[in-house]
Structure 1
Amino acid sequence: MNKRIPFILGLILLVTAIWLQVTSIKPIEHIIDRLENLVYDMQLRTDLFVYKKIDTPAVIIDIDDKSLKKEGRWPWSRAKLATLIGYLQKEGVAVVALDIIFPEKETNIATTVLQQLSKEKLTNTTTEFALKKIAPYFENDKKFANSIAYIDTVLGMSFLPQTIIHGTLVPATLELTSAKEKQLGFINASGVIGNIALLQSAAKGAGFINIFPDEDGVIRRVPILIRYQDQLYPSLALEAVRLYLLSNISLVTEEYGDQMRLEGVKLADRFIPTDEKGRMIIPFRGKSFTFPYYSATDILNKKIPPGVLTGKIAFIGTSATGFGELKPTAVENVFPGVEIQATIADSILANHFYYRPAWTLGAEIVATFLLGITFIFVFPYLGPRALAFFIILIPILFIFANNWLREKTGLIIYIFIPMTFMIVLAIINLIYGHLFEVRKRQQLKEMFGQYVPEKHIDTMLTSKGNYGLYGEDREMTVLFADIRNFTTLAEYLPAAQVKELLSDFFTPMTEIIFKHRGTIDKYVGDMVMAFWGAPLIDNQHTQHAISAALDMQNKVEKLKPIFAKKGWTDMKVGIGLNSGIMSVGDMGSKFRRSYTVIGDAVNLASRVENLTKYYNVNIVATHSIEAQQKMFVFRKLDRVTVKGKKTGTEIYEVVCKTEELAPEKRDEIALHHSALELYFNQEWEKSQAVFTELHQAHPHVKLYSLYLHRIADFLQTPPSSNWDGIYVHAYVS
């Protein structure tokens, strides 16, 4: 396969991938961010490496549907909340964080009744006295304030983009004083909803409960500090942990030239990494309800095991339907907002964070480049199965490796672009390889379709080689098969019958050659030429050629009665075989080419095929054929030289396969070889006696009469003293 095109396409794709990583074109950047977030969500939802531990100091007191059914609809009276806080204090809870805001006073029911009766002029001195006397018992805000005063409590608050101030604003955690600090990119609020002064003064602190989704509406990160009037206020979770650790909050910044950049927040010995807006990536421990949940009604009715809340941070919130507190997050489409607060608190206490520092973009570009360069030069050498395997394996490996890296180090790496680049690169190579294979198959079919069987082409596609596009020398076996006396036969047949005869002869002969892995070279008149050992290398080319020759002769015997019915005279076929070094390749002119073999070894096979007529045998093979094979029976015919050759060669008749040899035939061949040995030793009388015996037993075998005539001639005119037994066939063309 030409590797240049996939290399060039891969480099173009790599440049495009890196450009997508660094581009500042807003629409494209927005699309890439959305896709990266989707891949990030998918990784979290695979739940392969979800961060877990045996125990967590963060628990959730859930005002769930069960509690609303048991205790009544929301809002509950603050007296009931006071009772709930009281039970939590008795259970040893260290910090209570309410994911709830109390911006309005709760109405005193006794005072309300008294005001309504007075308005209707239905009151009297006794009623008024009684209602005023019991009114203190219905000061639920005081009860609630008293309960939260005895335990470290954090109340919720909310910042607004509008200029609205409602409720009490607690003192700020930090103040931005310098000009550089004021340039920090914190989320800036214009208004605030706080709690009534009575409750806020009783609580130890307050934290905002704002959670902002990304542009696609999914929550992946939360702010832990928000700026309001150049002062910073903590989130509910951050403030709860601060009280739990009895520590202070400070900023961690770095100066880049004349710019100051927020790196994170310091709390006790913990560094909380954030982005420049003060947002922390949520390190989800799992899907919703991963944290310990306790129903509020179970606590009010003392149905929880003793000691399970001791030393805990209890986040009070709701998972009940209809309250709008179920959020779409990266791990689940419906996730309780209070559990997000618990997740942040647990992460800070466990010192387990997800973070994405500024240098990660550079690392992603380098990783994309290195992976790209590596696989640009690897993929073109892989087959379709390997590429398909990579297409499936790449996302699995990327997600697995990134999950492992995130959970071991907390580092968030965006993998969409490098992962997509790798997949697209593999697909391009797969498609190009397929197109190349189709083109190569077409080329091979055009070149070899009429010469070799279909399975050869399939094998050629999966292996390497030029298959004769350039000539090469190989040791091969060549076969010539010719219909004897075809010219005489064709003289009395119409042209249509000659064509039919040749078709009926060549078709089964070709099938046999293909069956034995041969390649058709050409058809010339009534002759077919085939060879073994190309285009595919065949280490058993001689064996396959001999087997084909024997099967061809057997097929001819089966065709004889069929041809006889059509009025065609008895058909005989002579076959010549030779092995040796031959030149094979796609040869010819620019007008016409063919895949063929040439060389002395080819010419010799053609010459010995003609000798089948002289010796009246079906298959003649050279010594190079006989010397390599023990699976077949050979009868030595002669030592000859043919036209165009100066050196002699021994020729043999291919009789049959070894296992098919009959005892009578074995004895006949052995006797023949003994007679032939006497002949070559010039022991004429002894040789003549044996050949006479053979001729009398087998008068139809022309070979024996040939030698009897030669011996008779030599008895009258002996050969020269340097006679080597070679018989010269000068007429053979």
Structure 2
Amino acid sequence: MVWVLAPVVLGVLHASGGVSFQFLERLEHLLYDVRLRATLPHTPDGRIVIVDIDEASLQRVGQWPWGRDKMAAFANELFERQGVAVLGFDVVFAEADTSSGLARLNALAQGPLKSQPGFAQALERLAPTLDYDARFAGALDTQNAVLGYYFTSDRDGQGRGALPSPALTLRQMGGSLLNATVWNGFGSNLAVLAQAAPAAGFFNTMSDEDGVVRSLPLLAEYQGAYYESLALAVYRSFLGGANVVPAFATEPVPGERNLLRGVELHASGGRKFLPVDEQLATLVPYRGPGGPSGGSFRYLSAADVLQGRLPAGSLRGKIVLMGSTAPGLQDLRATPVGRAYPGVEVHANVLSGFLSGKAIYRPDYATAFDVLQIAVAGVLLALVLPLLSAARALLLAAAVLVALAGLNAQLYLVHGLALPLASALAVVVVATALDMAHGYLTESRTKRNLAHLFGTYVPPELVDQMLLAPERYTMQAASRELTVMFCDMRGFTAMSERMEPVQLQALLNDIFSRLTQAIRAHLGTIDKYMGDCVMAFWGAPVPTQQHAALAVQAALDMVAAVQSLNARHSATGLPEIGIGIGLNTGPMCVGDMGSDIRRSYTVIGDAVNLGSRLEGLCKVYGVDIVASEVTRQQASGFVWQELDRVRVKGKEDAVAIFYPLGRLGEVAPAQMHRLAQWNEALASLRAQDWAACDRHADTLRRADPGSALYAWYAERVAMLRVLPYQPDWDGATRFDTK
């Protein structure tokens, strides 16, 4: 029971803030994103329209910012001709517009042209039309326009432009502070514009630790006052300038920071409640993928609006937000539904949630809820899991996981509550895993002791199989068709004479590790290590019909591993090594053999001896691998090169030997061409056609001068051609040594 309660305690500490586990934070974000994407409505909200400063607008109108004369025409088009309800700007107008040249004309009127008759009077008449900022302010004056601005937090706390009036002040709240994000600087609009359009909201977003925007602050603190976001300001304007009233979670304490349940908007049409989290933020209720093709909101090119291409009244009664999707204007955000999501659409989603009364928020009791669900689930598991079998314990854990996830989804879908889930799920999984591990350690001790006993002399593959179904296996010797491998290192003796024992030990261990990995990767069983030789076999203890093919692929991988090792040795000055591998397939006796003192699971038999002989032929033919004909026949997925027919010591029958060039379809065309030439050369040798042999030998050696195999062929031809013609000769080479 104690081992199950340990993750419960850690989970409660994490949920309550006593400790922090970053992986749980990341998991929480992941679960929220999955839940959000799974419940996206994917329906358009026709009440909100986004006027997009897109790439097409920048090409047609010019680079941003546009002249305020154009912005005045833009505002007039929307308010007077289209009749929009509210116009919100997700941009800031912080710099004065001097593009008309009015400032230069004023300087001329005060300077060089001061005495010019009529100049000052003409300038006075033209000035109203050339003051673009004033024209834009005039277009906004008395209209339902909401400007945008931003807060900053830096060392100097600089402020530029004119801030709007705060939504809440300490005086309004009786000296009570709010637990809001605090800023010390801002970038806002020109005073003339702020006076014409007093409603304004900040467009700062909130990014989580992973840089993803999941929430938007509704209120932010600057110099003891609380300012509203762009979405809240637009919504208030849409409601006719509703008053903001804080809804405290508990009785507020003056001079201390207090939590809010939400924000109430008191308007003539009634009250609206907007829930917030402990940072006065609301989760963004994304409707779907962002951008003009996302389908959540209607996008209009700003150039089309400016140039009056829309039918009059087509936007009547709509809430219009002006923003940008142009990458160069840098208003794209990473969100759960898109990595380059338009910032203006983030505000549109929040505003859509306000209009629909469907907010997603993390309530102030979220921490208590998380602690409670962890405790309940944890205690349940601690009491019940030790009483159940492994299968029933897993079923219980699955049921608890489903119950937690189902409750969380129900509260999210019905009530808009984004409650934590990751810690509770992690506690269930870890507690179940610990219970299973404890059960394994205690209830399986006898079985594991037996496995340990066998493991002292049986390969791990057989131990694993015995633990799964011990009745299927016996240690008694049996005859099976298997594939055996002998792998010997070349040049090891000379190397050992040049290296220190410790250095030689490290090198040998490295080589054996690489070779063993290749064998085990292809289901081979390591029989033994004999000095600088490795013996392995395939097909036992785990039966497989592919034992020959697995052995051949393992041999090719071992050659590649040694080549890779030699490349590293060459760079570090260590000596290079070579290997020779012999493969044979046939009936062998396999089982537990040895004495009372030491036993091993091994193979013996004539087929095993032949495999050892074939390994010794590698250096004769200058190849890394020599395989028997039976192995070649059973490993048909490879391209094979016949080397020779041989009579080895202890066998009177000739045996064809082969070298695997690679898998079918993976051998280069040039190599296949040489293989065809070699087959012709081998046929000429067996036909005792020495003139043809000379031609083939010359062709092959020109194609690959360094080939030891082609050199052997030439020497063999030279030796045999002096002998008389032998009509009954089978072309085999006799080897009388092991």
Q: TM-score range by the shorter chain?
A: 0.5 to 0.7
Match of residue 220 from structure 1: 214
Picking from 302, 316, 333, the partner of 1:310 is: 316
Match of residue 204 from structure 2: 210
The yes-or-no answer on 1:326 pairing with 2:342 is no
Change in 2 beyond 3 A, CA 1:238/1:426: same
Alpha-carbon contact 1:44-1:330 (below 8 Å) kept = no
Aligned pair count?
452
Residues 701-712 of structure 1 mapped to structure 2, 5 A cutoff: none
> SS at the partner of 1:59?
strand
Alpha-carbon contact 1:283-1:347 (below 8 Å) kept = yes
The yes-or-no answer on 1:345 pairing with 2:351 is yes
Match of residue 195 from structure 1: 189
In 1, the alpha carbon distance for the partners of 2:259 and 2:448 equals 63
Change in 2 beyond 3 A, CA 1:291/1:407: farther
In 1, the alpha carbon distance for the partners of 2:401 and 2:33 equals 11
The yes-or-no answer on 1:20 pairing with 2:18 is no
Alpha-carbon contact 1:101-1:157 (below 8 Å) kept = yes
Alpha-carbon contact 2:161-2:191 (below 8 Å) kept = yes
Alpha-carbon contact 1:110-1:135 (below 8 Å) kept = no
Match of residue 691 from structure 1: none
- 1:285 deviation in Å? 2.4
User: What root-mean-square deviation, in Å, do the aligned CA atoms of Structure 1 and Structure 2 show?
Assistant: 4.1
Match of residue 105 from structure 1: 96
Alpha-carbon contact 1:209-1:236 (below 8 Å) kept = yes
> SS at the partner of 2:45?
coil
Picking from 274, 278, 281, the partner of 2:280 is: 278
In 2, the alpha carbon distance for the partners of 1:198 and 1:257 equals 38
The AA in structure 1 aligned to 2:5 is L
Match of residue 303 from structure 2: 297
CA offsets 1:320-371 (integer angstroms, 9 cap, x no match): 1122211233443322221121122112121111222232222222211222
Pick the structure with greater CA Rg: 1
Match of residue 172 from structure 1: 166
- 1:240 deviation in Å? 0.8
- 1:311 deviation in Å? 1.4
In 2, the alpha carbon distance for the partners of 1:190 and 1:173 equals 17
The worse-fitting range, judged by mean Cα deviation, of 299-308 and 412-421 is 299-308
Residues 64-463 of structure 1 mapped to structure 2, 5 A cutoff: 64-89=54-79, 90-107=81-98, 109-112=100-103, 114=105, 134-149=126-141, 151-161=143-153, 162-177=156-171, 181-246=175-240, 247-256=242-251, 258=253, 260-268=258-266, 269-289=271-291, 290-304=296-310, 309-379=315-385, 401-433=407-439, 439-442=445-448
Alpha-carbon contact 2:53-2:302 (below 8 Å) kept = yes
In 2, the alpha carbon distance for the partners of 1:74 and 1:445 equals 75
CA offsets 1:590-619 (integer angstroms, 9 cap, x no match): xxxxxxxxxxxxxxxxxxxxxxxxxxxxxx
In 2, the alpha carbon distance for the partners of 1:37 and 1:116 equals 62
In 2, the alpha carbon distance for the partners of 1:30 and 1:16 equals 9
CA offsets 1:11-67 (integer angstroms, 9 cap, x no match): 22222322332343xxx337377336533443356x111255553422211111121
In 2, the alpha carbon distance for the partners of 1:265 and 1:155 equals 21
Alpha-carbon contact 1:384-1:434 (below 8 Å) kept = no
Alpha-carbon contact 1:169-1:194 (below 8 Å) kept = yes
Picking from 16, 32, 53, the partner of 1:63 is: 53
In 2, the alpha carbon distance for the partners of 1:101 and 1:63 equals 13
- 1:447 deviation in Å? 12
Consecutive unaligned residues in structure 1, runs of 5 or more: 1-6, 449-453, 462-502, 508-733
CA offsets 1:135-187 (integer angstroms, 9 cap, x no match): 54332223212222253101112333344333223333332127863332233
Change in 2 beyond 3 A, CA 1:14/1:434: same
Change in 2 beyond 3 A, CA 1:41/1:135: same
> SS at the partner of 2:163?
coil
Change in 2 beyond 3 A, CA 1:17/1:173: closer
In 2, the alpha carbon distance for the partners of 1:198 and 1:96 equals 18
Alpha-carbon contact 2:129-2:135 (below 8 Å) kept = no
In 2, the alpha carbon distance for the partners of 1:291 and 1:390 equals 45
> SS at the partner of 1:299?
helix
Q: State the TM-score, normalizing by the size of structure 1.
A: 0.54
CA offsets 1:533-570 (integer angstroms, 9 cap, x no match): xxxxxxxxxxxxxxxxxxxxxxxxxxxxxxxxxxxxxx
> SS at the partner of 2:339?
coil
- 1:303 deviation in Å? 4.5
The AA in structure 2 aligned to 1:265 is V
The worse-fitting range, judged by mean Cα deviation, of 94-103 and 359-368 is 359-368
- 1:120 deviation in Å? 11
Change in 2 beyond 3 A, CA 1:167/1:127: same
The AA in structure 2 aligned to 1:174 is L
Alpha-carbon contact 2:3-2:435 (below 8 Å) kept = no
Change in 2 beyond 3 A, CA 1:309/1:443: same
> SS at the partner of 1:103?
coil
Change in 2 beyond 3 A, CA 1:131/1:213: same
The AA in structure 2 aligned to 1:283 is P
> SS at the partner of 2:63?
coil
> SS at the partner of 1:328?
strand
Q: Percent identity?
A: 28
In 1, the alpha carbon distance for the partners of 2:359 and 2:237 equals 20
- 1:425 deviation in Å? 2.3
Alpha-carbon contact 1:34-1:216 (below 8 Å) kept = no
Residues 690-709 of structure 1 mapped to structure 2, 5 A cutoff: none
- 1:317 deviation in Å? 1.0
Change in 2 beyond 3 A, CA 1:276/1:270: same
Match of residue 629 from structure 2: none
The AA in structure 2 aligned to 1:48 is A
